[in-house]
Amino acid sequence: MDQKNHEHNPGVKCLVNTCHYYCQGDHCDAPKIEVQHRNATSSKETDCATFKPQNQSMS
């Protein structure tokens, strides 16, 4: 899942401007997102598993 969707995910606000899927205006252009971890009890225990660094090779 390295292709950008070129359409924003409605309702998803992303502030991680170092992510490949980040789009100006704090939007996410990933075709889908995965948030982990199962059984989390606070937001600190979750993360976006879809994150890819901007400059990572997409081979």
Is residue 58 pLDDT above 60, yes or no? Answer: no
* Adjacent-strand bridge partners of 19: 53
Banded model confidence at residue 56, pLDDT cuts 50, 70, 90: low
CA R_g for the chain = 12
What are the tens digits of pLDDT across the range 4-52?
877 788 889 999 999 999 999 999 999 999 999 999 999 999 999 999 9
Q: Which of 57, 4, 48, 58 is nearest to 30 (CA)?
A: 4
DSSP calls for the chain: --S--SS--TT-----TTBTTEETTTEE--SS--EE-TT--SGGG-EETT--BTTS---
pLDDT (0 to 100) of residue 10: 84
